[in-house]
Amino acid sequence: MSESVLGAENPNELFDWEKDAAPVPERKVSLKRVAAASSIGTTIEFYDFFIFGTAAALVFPTIFFAKSDPNTATLQSFATFAVAFFARPVGAIVFGHYGDRIGRKRTLVWTLLIMGIATVGIGLLPGYSTGVFGMVPNGIGIWAPTLLVAARFFQGFAVGGEWAGATLLTAEYAPAGKRGMMAMWPQLGPAFAFFLSSLTFLLFTQGNKADVDSFFMTIGWRIPFLMSALLVIIGLWIRLAVDETPVFKQAEQNLGQDPDRKLPFLDAIRDQWKQILIAGGALASLFSLFYMGTSFLTSYATKQLGYSMPFVLTMGALSAILFGLSIAASAMWSDRIGRRRVIMISCAMAVIWSLLLFPMLDSGITALYVVGLLGTLVIFGVAYGPAGAALPEMFKARYRYTGAGLGYNLAGVLGGAIPPLIAARFVAEGQSINVGIMLAVLSTISVICCYLMVESKDYRMDAGVTAHD
């Protein structure tokens, strides 16, 4: 290794545990099973996450914030959406601790269960003044938005622990020179999930408009939330069949008696706080584009631009396909030219694109809306593909789960929680161009943070165990 992550003076400093590592008996593991376990988990978790975002744009302002005027209700709805992003760092700390102490696999089972329970709970939640399935006919008043916020917190809490574990599951099994390609599988989860969530809601918006609107606003929006129970069962079945990663087993064997390993969170903050901050800043643009391009634009297109709900959902499903292709292509590309370069290209493109986006959307030309949606998600996908390998490569094995999760979820707060709230206010004031300026500023910060990153694609993460297709 000729380069190190910023903050490590010795090129081998971050991975000294490998030099004296005791040999581990070689055995073979199916990469297909590992890829499926990581991808199905992130697909389910992000499906749950996205159906909330879609409902926050289309349903929640009416169901849970019925006493507010439309603009205020939309702002309040997106505020509940933002709650999850503030819960994600908490989840990263808690699940990162256990992921670094007891293993990636067992921790990922818990993230999936918590997310599933919270999502089904939302599907059964009465509204402010409306019941559910004939029960609580008059609603539960202020308890409705309160319980919605609580469920949303647990969604974010679970996702905060999911991403790092899923990427480590693939990155720590990856063969030499193919870590980007392997780590793309959990990264494809959001694309699969966005397609499924858009398609699911689309199925319940077909038919006579009056009848559809009535059904959708009373029962139809709940069905995607309840369906997540089946997806969780499938996900658990696949995930339980995968063994713990060889790198964790090796680290556990060599560091198991190390007293400094008791609190991975404190270790990560003390030893690699620079990497956490740089990772959060570098991926902030990525998050802002993604959640603006999904949940926010769903709301903007239906309420400000006047497009029909079926059209917007159809475009969302189609854009998810191109989004997934861009993730896969950029992840494999990063194995050739490096993670840092690919992510920086995306962030630089985002600076220009952000300034063009809302003038295109506000032109009233349908084709430009489609181009705006596709372009936003493709630019995001270019950065998101390599991120699955880049963040795990930045941290020591003994707190890699915690460090990668903290960096990723810090980016979620900076780019995913705050921008939609500010954007909703700008739109309510008729200043949509300011949304583009805000996104451009975030993307500029990400370019600077990418510049401070050091290429890590050639770092070793193996532990003497081979994998096969």
Lowest mean pLDDT: which of 124-138, 158-172, 237-251, 313-327? 124-138
Tell me which of 195 and 73 has the higher pLDDT.
Answer: 195
Higher pLDDT: 291 or 286? It is: 286
Compute the mean pLDDT over every residue in the chain, rounded to the nearest whole number: 80
Residue-level pLDDT at 25 = 40
Half-sphere exposure for 426 (CA within 13 Å, toward CB): 18
C-alpha 77/C-alpha 74 separation (Å) is: 5
Tell me the pTM.
0.78
Is residue 38 within 8 A of residue 170, CB to CB? The reply is yes
Q: Are 441 and 310 in contact (CB under 8 A)?
A: no
- Would the pLDDT of 246 be above 60? yes
Question: In this structure, which amino acid lies at residue 335?
Answer: D
Q: Is the pLDDT of residue 9 over 60?
A: no
Structure token pair of residue 444: 């500029």
CA distance 361 to 299: 13
Query: How high is the pLDDT of residue 465?
Result: 34
Q: What is the reported pLDDT for 287?
A: 84
Residues ≥6 apart with Cβ < 8 Å to 363: none
The residue assigned the tokens 């917007």 is: 312
**321 or 58, which is more confident?**
321
Stretch (H or E) spanning 14: none
- Is residue 150 pLDDT above 80, yes or no? yes
Highest mean pLDDT: which of 9-13, 44-48, 165-169?
165-169
List of long-range contacts for 212-219, beta carbons under 8 Å, 24+ apart: 216/59, 217/59, 217/62, 217/63, 218/130, 219/133
Is the pLDDT at 78 greater than 90, yes or no? Answer: no
Q: How many whole angstroms separate alpha carbon 160 and alpha carbon 412? A: 9
For residues 361 and 292, what is the distance between their CA atoms, to the nearest angstrom? 13
Residue 297: what residue type? Answer: L
More confident residue, 412 or 380: 380
Helix spans in 259-308 (H): 264-291, 297-303
In this predicted structure, the answer to whether residue 304 has a pLDDT above a threshold of 50 is: yes
pLDDT at 382: 94
Name residue 89's amino acid: P
pLDDT band of residue 135 (cuts 50, 70, 90) is low
Q: What SS3 string covers 386-416?
A: HHHHHHHHCCCHHHHHHHHHHHHHHHHHHHH
Which has the higher per-residue pLDDT, 3 or 428?
Answer: 428
How sure is the predictor about 134, in pLDDT bands with cuts at 50, 70 and 90? low
Residue 185 pLDDT: 92
Mean pLDDT of 172-178: 82
Confidence of residue 19 (pLDDT cuts 50, 70, 90): very low
Kindly indicate the confidence band of residue 258, based on its pLDDT and cuts at 50, 70 and 90: low
259 or 326: which leads in pLDDT: 326
